[in-house]
Amino acid sequence: MADQHDARTDPPPADELALLRHANPVPAGDPRFQDGPLGHEAERRLNRLLHSEHPGRRTRQARRWIWSLAATAAVAAVALTLVLSGPTTTPAVAAPRPLVIETGSSPVPLDRLADRAVAADSSPRLRQGTHVQSWSMGMTSGPRSRPPITLPEERVVRWQADGSHNELVVATDPRHPGRPVITDADGTPRTVEDGHVLSRTAYPPSWSDAPPQATPPHTTARLRAYLDEIDTTETDPAEAMKTPELLDAMHELLDHWTLGARENAALVRLLADAKGLRPAGAVTDRLGRPGQAYVYEDKGHFGRRMLILDPATGAVLGLEDTVTKDDPEYGVKAGDVMSYSAWMR
């Protein structure tokens, strides 16, 4: 875990977040809030069902602001009522702005980056488990809707030799070290200290030979089949994965495994064959790491997906989903980041 979780040299400022923290706007006994929020995995699965491009096809990227249908978003927005009243009030936690491509940087084609990945050192090795920072947007629609809020957290999953594993989820936002973090992990929207442990769970031994639990292969053809199997609801097995589905399956893979050098090389080669994923140039990700950005424009859903890869090894550093058209119903504007994941070793 990052050092900033233990750094508390200065108290947080008494701003809107601090006020919200003491307001308790959602009492536990209030009957209006008896329906608790969906869990992280349940919300992800609901999102896939809601946004399939055609029957049976799931996609994580289609109109993510429909997350408001999940109870977590509706309740979280209500929590801001006490501190966000008035037409001139600035939201306490605004949507992060999209990453900016460095001016004058030269885009690196994916096939060239794939060659670099193949030539890179054979270490590190594949490891089961993940370490990821994520930001997701919660919002509501309608005449009584409130401004969207960003929910940041960090998740570490470590597996043991006996097949058991532990999951640690922490509320933290590296953009603002030491500042309070808003969360709805326990069903009550509130702010907590940076580094606050949201959950610590130990799971008994378990094994599976189905992706993404199964060990991912390190050849391009086998990895393609592996990722295609993650998309288990595909109605036509003969239909090749489109780029959005490939990125979704990759996301699922990285939420279970930390890839080694050989797997990284196979994945980059696979991405190099994907249509519509164009090189955009150099970028610094949200954790301060240098990367190369590759952009997929989903004009049908008014969204943009930016994939950030390590320029030397091809390892996936991050994936950003951004709205490219205003949607007044949900209070989002072009340029708002709907979700972002940053993977670490």
124-160 per-position pLDDT tens digit: 999 999 999 999 887 656 665 556 778 899 999 999 9
Stronger pLDDT, 235 or 99, i.e. the higher one: 99
CA distance 269 to 264: 9
Q: 164 lies in which domain range? A: 35-344
Query: Is position 29 within any domain?
Result: no
> What number is the average pLDDT over the span 196-208?
94
CA distance 318 to 96: 15
294-320 per-position pLDDT tens digit: 999 987 666 899 999 999 999 999 999
Query: Is position 98 within any domain?
Result: yes
The yes-or-no verdict on residue 18 having pLDDT over 60 is: no
> What number is the average pLDDT over the span 320-341?
87
Query: Is position 151 within any domain?
Result: yes
Query: Is position 116 within any domain?
Result: yes
Q: Which residue has the tokens 């005449």?
A: 143
- C-alpha dihedral sign at 263, 264, 265, 266: positive
Query: Is position 22 within any domain?
Result: no
Query: Is position 244 within any domain?
Result: yes
Query: Is position 12 within any domain?
Result: no
Q: Are 274 and 253 spatial neighbours (Cβ–Cβ below 8 Å)?
A: no
Query: Is position 18 within any domain?
Result: no
CB pairs under 8 A, 24+ apart, for 190-193? 190/20, 190/21, 190/24, 190/26, 190/79, 191/17, 191/18, 191/20, 191/21, 192/21, 193/8, 193/12
Looking at residue 78, its pLDDT comes to 33
Domain total of the chain: 1
Beta-bridged to residue 305, according to DSSP, are 296, 321
